[in-house]
Amino acid sequence: MKKDFLSCLETKVGFKGYGLSAPDREKIVNFTFEDGKQYQLKQGSVVIAAITSCTNTSNPNVLIAAGLLAKKAVEKGLKVNPFVKTSLAPGSGVVTEYLTRSGLLPFLEKVGFYIVGYGCTTCIGNSGPLNDSVAQAIESNDLVCSGVLSGNRNFEGRIHPNVRANYLASPPLVVAYALSGTTAIDYETEPVGTGSDGKPVFLRDIWPTHAEVAEVVSKNVVREMFTEVYGRVTQGTEQWNALKASNDQLYPWDNVSTYIHYPPYFDGMTKDLTPHLKIENASVLLNLGDSITTDHISPAGNISKKSPAGRYLEAKGVDAKDFNSYGARRGNDEVMARGTFANIRLVNKFLTKPGPQTIHHKSGETLDIFDAAARYIKEGTPLTILAGAMYGSGSSRDWAAKGVWMLNVKFVIAVSYERIHRSNLVLFGVIPLQFKEGQDADSLGLTGKESFTIDISSSKPGGDVVVHVQGGKIDQFTTKLRIDTETEMTYYKNGGVLNYVIRENLK
Cα separations in angstroms, 174 against 52, 115, 151: 10, 15, 10
Q: Is 84 among the domain residues?
A: yes
pLDDT at 147: 95
Q: Provide the domain count of the chain.
A: 2
Cα 148 vs. chain centroid, distance in angstroms?
15
pLDDT at 57: 65
What span, in angstroms and rounded, lies between the C-alpha atoms of 122 and 53? Answer: 9
pLDDT at 56: 67
Identify the domain containing residue 207 by its residue range: 2-231
Q: Quick one: 284 and 219 in the same domain?
A: no
Q: Quick one: 49 and 195 in the same domain?
A: yes
CATH number for position 209: 3.30.499.10
Q: Is 327 among the domain residues?
A: no
pLDDT at 126: 79
Q: Is 314 among the domain residues?
A: no
Instruction: Note down pLDDT in tens along the chain; length 507 residues.
Output: 999 999 999 998 877 889 999 999 999 999 999 999 999 999 999 999 999 876 666 789 999 999 999 999 999 999 999 999 999 999 889 999 999 999 999 999 999 999 998 888 887 777 888 999 999 999 999 899 999 999 887 877 778 888 989 999 999 999 999 999 999 999 999 999 999 999 999 999 999 999 999 999 999 999 999 999 999 888 888 999 999 888 899 998 998 999 999 999 999 899 998 888 999 999 999 999 999 999 899 988 888 888 999 999 999 999 998 998 898 999 999 999 999 999 988 999 999 988 999 999 999 999 999 999 999 999 999 999 999 999 999 887 899 999 999 999 999 999 999 999 999 999 999 999 999 999 999 999 999 999 999 999 999 999 999 999 999 999 999 999 999 999 999 999 999 999 999 999 998
Q: How would DSSP label each residue in 184-250?
A: S--TTTS-SEE-TTS-EE-HHHHPPPHHHHHHHHHHH--HHHHHHHHHTTTT--HHHHT------SS
Q: Quick one: 147 and 72 in the same domain?
A: yes
CA atoms within 13 A on the CB side of 41: 26
pLDDT at 331: 95
Cα separations in angstroms, 211 against 64, 89, 103, 174, 217: 12, 26, 18, 21, 10
Asked whether the whole model's pTM tops 0.85, one would answer: no
Q: Quick one: 200 and 292 in the same domain?
A: no
Last residue of a domain, one of 231, 246, 270: 231
Q: Is 264 among the domain residues?
A: no
Q: Quick one: 101 and 203 in the same domain?
A: yes
Q: Of 388, 394, 423, 429, whose CA–CA distance to 409 is shortest? A: 429
Is the Cβ–Cβ distance between 407 and 342 less than 8 Å? no
Q: Is 7 among the domain residues?
A: yes
What span, in angstroms and rounded, lies between the C-alpha atoms of 176 and 399? Answer: 36
How many C-beta atoms surround the C-beta of residue 297 within 10 A?
27
Q: Of 347, 352, 361, 349, whose CA–CA distance to 470 is shortest? A: 361
Q: Quick one: 164 and 286 in the same domain?
A: no
**Strand 357-360 relative to strand 38-42: parallel, antiparallel, unpaired?**
unpaired
Q: Is 432 among the domain residues?
A: yes
Q: Quick one: 216 and 357 in the same domain?
A: no
Q: Is 125 among the domain residues?
A: yes
CATH number for position 464: 3.20.19.10
pLDDT at 170: 94
Q: Is 332 among the domain residues?
A: no
